[in-house]
Amino acid sequence: MMERDETVVILGEDVGFYGGNYRVTEGLYAKYGEKRVIDTPIAENSIVGNAIGMALGGLRPVAEIMTVNFILIAMDQIVNQMAKLRYMSGGKIELPMVVRTPQGVSKQLAAQHSQSLERFFTSVPGLITMVASDATAAYYGLKKAIELDDPVIFLEHELLYPMKMEIQKRESFDPFRADIVKEGKDITVVSYLKMLHDTLKAVPVIEKELDVSVEVINLHSLNPLDMETIANSVKKTKRFVIVTEEPKTGSFAAEVVSKVSEELFYHLDAPPLRICGEDVPTPYNRKLELLSIPTPEKIAQQIVYWGREHGI
């Protein structure tokens, strides 16, 4: 993208000379220089505000916030400017910009550095919210996000960075269409980011214990949400589960369950199941930390219990 489009610039803390806290911009500073890969002060509100100004001036900025936990400082710029400028200008202003940031529970980073905040972004009209659960979505999804003329929040997960993955060649990749990563006929399970991988680990246990086949859907975009793929799957399986890492109350998962209940109620043979993190600040203690979020074992246990409770 940066090679063929000189308007694409990156800004954020340590994105330049250091190559990013998670090395995601490594090598770009040497290749494109300090005017296109810009190290900023520790000032998240300013990072997003400057990116908005760059976008208004004709650039396509990618503003990196080191972790989603720090983005709260920039929420005024995101909610009151970034999300609303196109609408408050009667559609005259385009804002081609991306705010890219990792989130989620890593390993003993404690409550202030372990949050999942997709619920905030997906509830703000005017923002597109994408997620990258694998290398293919990270590569093609980020390219698509940069090409869009509207602002995008692009969420990643800290524990997915070190995972070895292959990029599938998918030039026609559409981030607004979810992928069915495993076909099944009895239960639909929707997930994204690290929980997608934990769900796939849980599936063999679920299928063995309940003697069923599970369909797993990988979301690339949370807003807009690909309800068509979800609906087609639920109409086939008659049962719906969503797995997310965020705290349960007020979650994005709750919104999806509401949509499924509103639009697909008469297709369901069991109440939808929401598997989320606990409603507590993430503990530092590793054992308590793991108790506060879904794990492959807990995902399997909860779906098997729910399945037996509802006659599967």
Residue 40 token pair: 């900023």
Beta strands of the chain (E only): which ranges? 8-12, 37-39, 60-64, 98-103, 128-131, 152-157, 179-182, 187-191, 214-218, 221-223, 240-247, 273-277
Check if the beta carbon of residue 77 is closer than 8 Å to that of residue 126: no
Q: Is the dihedral of CA 111, 114, 119, 124 positive or negative?
A: positive
Pairwise CA distance, residues 47 & 21, whole Å: 16
- Closest residue by Cα to residue 260 from 196, 269, 206, 153: 269
Please tell me what DSSP assigns to residue 152: E
Known catalytic residues are 44, 113
The DSSP string of 96-133 is --EEEEEES--SS--GGG----HHHHHTSTT-EEEE--
Query: Helix (H, G, I), strand (E, B), or coil: what is residue 182?
Result: strand
Sheet holding 221-223, edge to edge: 37-39, 8-12, 60-64, 98-103, 152-157, 128-131, 221-223
Tokens 């890969």 found at: 37
- Closest residue by Cα to residue 105 from 222, 280, 299, 249: 280
